[in-house]
Amino acid sequence: MKVLAIGALAALTLAAASGDAGERKGFVQDRLVAEHKNADGTLTLQTPEGWVVESRGGQPEVTEARGGSLVVRIVRREGELGLDGWHVQCMLERLAGPMVTHPQVDYEYDFRQGWIGERQAMDSAFVVHYDEEIEGHKDWRQRNVTIVGGGESVCLIGMAPRRVWKKSKEDRALLEAVMTSIRLD
């Protein structure tokens, strides 16, 4: 079975620049010491020690990694869904339900498209506003990278409180490192 390293995302032009993440990449990558498989054994990700990773099989299969105030969620379905439709569905993945989430989001960028190997990819980043605080924050920056191909459809979702995202270069680099450590086996 062919292994696709999502680390290629960092090199794609559709990936958002995150300040000096490149300078810190080696330092941050060295912190990714724990390796995790999802429930169905179809993907692997690396996290710093102490992160909590939970995975439940099924359709869709959902794996979530949490460390500090950072969240990485991976939603995977067997079969190749339409890229645009799957990306929109993935952008509705949130930390809380629609009744406590403002319907309008503030886009940083939207629907950047490209390829990762032979798979199509789409990337969007935006801020979600919640009515109540979630882990002490109402505004969360969310990045969705959607990948379709190779017989599967996958969403990589990185979330951080907007205040943390804006002020901590190290947390931005760490979130990017965890997201780019994901391998589809």
Higher pLDDT, 16 or 125: 125
CATH code for the domain in which residue 135 is found: 3.40.1000.10
In this prediction, residue 65 has a pLDDT band, given cuts at 50, 70 and 90, of: very high
Give the pTM. 0.86
| pLDDT for res 117 | 87
Q: Which domain holds residue 28?
A: 4-184
Q: Answer yes or no: is pLDDT of 80 > 80.
A: yes
Select from 108, 122, 120, 99 the least CA-distant residue to 160: 108
The count of domains in the chain is: 1
CB < 8 Å & 24+ apart, contacts of 86-90: 86/146, 86/148, 86/153, 86/155, 87/111, 87/122, 87/124, 87/144, 87/146, 87/155, 89/155, 90/144, 90/146, 90/155, 90/157
Q: What is the DSSP letter of 10?
A: G
- The reported pLDDT for the residue numbered 53 is 96
